[in-house]
Each structure stands twice: as C-alpha cells, then as structure tokens.
Chain A
Amino acid sequence: MDQSEEQLSRFEEELSGAMRRVDPPEGFAERVMARARANDKPRARIVRFPHRTRVWVSGAIAAALLAGVFVAEQMRLRQERERTELARQQFEAAMRITGETLEQARQQLQQAGVRVGTDGN
C-alpha cells in the first residue's frame, strides 16, 4: 500500500467515525403518528347488492342506455328532416321568385313590341 492509499484508508476510517447516525428532532415519532392518524380517514363504503338485484340493476342501466341511444337517434333524424324541409321550401321560394321575375320581363318586352319565344321565332 503506497503512502496516498494509506492516507486515503485512514481518512476512510475517520470518515466512518464522523458519519454516525443522528437522532431526528424531538417529537418526530409523534408527528409521524399524528399524520398517519390524519391520513387514516374512513374510505368510501362499497355497497354490495344481492345477485338478483345486481341483474335487475344491470338490466335497467342497459335499457336506459339503449333508450337514450334511441332517443338521441330519433332527435338527430328529426333535425335532419327539418333541415331538408327548410331547404326544400327555400328552393321553391327561389324558383317562384325567379319565375315571377321572368314573367314580368317577358310582359315588358311584349309591351315594347318585342315578341319573345312563344311561337318558336
């Protein structure tokens, strides 16, 4: 063992002596116990139903879900029908206005002596 290794070894021994365990602050254990008791609140109670009740409850929940899906689908179809009807009415109104405008234009041209498209010329 050379000199530096010997010194390091001696230093290790002195370090071991200096690194003894120390006590925690006064009242440490009590503070931990108090926190443990505070954390130990009653947990949420799990309610267990009898098997037959569970079957009925599960069936009721499934039926409610199906009814919900059905109602939602019906509402969606109804909204779609309403949108289609509205679009149809708007289209008809537009066609009617266009027809009336064309008729007015034709009458004005007729009054001006211009013959338009009724006899194929």
Chain B
Amino acid sequence: MGIAEDELRGLIAMHQRMVFSIALRITGDYATAEEVAQDVFLELCRSGDRLASEDHVRHWLRRVATHRAIDALRRKAVRPEDAAEEWIEEEHSDGEARGCDAGLQARMEELLRTLPEPMRVAIVLRYQEEMLPDEIARLLGRSVASVKSHLHQGLTLLRRKAAFTMKEYVRGPV
C-alpha cells in the first residue's frame, strides 16, 4: 500500500459519502457507483503518499471520483432510468436530512438521471458538492462559460420535467 492501512481506513470513513454520492449521481447505477468508489479509494491508496493536506485529498478524491464516474457512464452506457426503481427502493441512511421529503428526493434523483451527462455532472458538483462554477470548470477542464451554461440548461430542464411529473413543482408557468 502507498499509505498505511489505518490512514486509509480513516480516509474512507471521512470521504466515502462524498465519493459514493458523486459516483452514484453521475452513473445513476448503484453497483457501478460502488465499483467506481472502490476504485477511487484504491487509487488513493496507491498515490496517497503524494497528497499533502486534507484539502488536497478531498479535492483529489472529488476530481478522480467525477472523472471515473464519467468514464464508467460512457463505458457501460448505463441507462440511469433502469436503476431508478432500485434506487428508490433501497434504504439509505438519512443522517444529514435537511427536512426534504424522502419521496420528493427520490423523484428528484430520478429526474437528475434523465439529464445529459455534462448537465448532470455540473448539477451534481454544484448542488451536492456546493462547488462554484469556476471550481467546477477547473475540475472538469472546461470553460466557466460552458459550466454556467450547463448548469442553467440543466436546472431549467430539471424544473420543466419536475413541473410535468411532480405536482409539488407545479407553481405557475415554467
């Protein structure tokens, strides 16, 4: 191992939710997300001794998880819609629930999986990871304008879809 076993265990405990959630929301497939997340931590294990600070580790994990998830999505041509029911039926811990209805969240997840890849990735990094557009642009190696455009298009599309499928969001013209 590149880093000590105890250290790796600690890093997994600290970052597994972030890595797994990025992988899950981008690939849209539970099993693929676990595979991606495992691969990311194994890669960290090999190259962890080069990562100096905790911030560096978090940034590295976020970047590698995003790129591995995009690769998996392209390689396997995962159809997120196929996994949506599995996702809704799965039990997930809700430790950081912020008052959002679970059913609503699941349906939002389902809609997210129908977005084209660039929009989905931008939305995940913006609203799950709370990254700014310029940070997302740096992580993805794209221009800020393109990230902003994907965010705006993704939001508009999500909202439009929500208006058609979720009565909670029928609040006037879209």
Chain A interface residues toward B at CB < 8 A: 3-4, 7-8, 10-12, 14-25, 28-29, 31-33, 35-37, 39-40
Residues of B near A14 (CB, < 8 A) are 100, 104, 108
Residues of B in contact (CB 8 Å), total 50
CB pair A20–B18 under 8 Å, yes or no, is no
Cross-chain contact A15 with B127 (CB below 8 angstroms): yes
- Is A19 touching B128 in the complex (CB atoms < 8 A)? yes
What is the CB-to-nearest-CB distance from A119 to chain B, in angstroms, rounded to a whole number?
96
Contacts of A11 in B (CB 8 A): 155, 158-159, 162, 169
Nearest Cβ distance between residue A75 and chain B, in whole angstroms? 49
B: residues with CB less than 8 A from A are 1, 5, 8-9, 12-13, 16-21, 24-25, 30, 33-34, 37-38, 41-42, 45, 92-93, 95-100, 104-105, 108-109, 112, 123-124, 127-128, 130, 155-156, 158-159, 162, 169, 171-174
Whether A32 touches B109, Cβ cut-off 8 Å, given contacts A21-B18, A24-B16, is no
Point out the residues of chain A lying under 8 angstroms from B12, CB to CB.
Answer: 28-29, 32-33
What chain B residues lie within 8 Å of A40 (beta carbons)? 1
**Per a CB cutoff under 8 Å, which of A7, A23, A31, A36 touches B92?**
A23
When the two chains form their complex, are residues B42 and A23 in contact, meaning their CB atoms are under 8 A apart? no
Instruction: Name the distance in Å between B147's Cβ and chain A's nearest Cβ.
Output: 15
B158→A29 contact, CB < 8 A? no
Which of B12, B13, B24, B130 is packed against the most chain A CB atoms within 10 Å?
B12
Instruction: Pick the contact of A19: B33, B37, B127 (CB < 8 A).
Output: B127
- The residue that A16 contacts in the complex, of B18, B41, B127, B172, with Cβ under 8 A, is B127
A7's partner among B21, B127, B171 (CB-CB below 8 A) is: B171
Known A18-B100, A33-B5, A40-B1; judge A25-B155 contact (CB<8 A): no
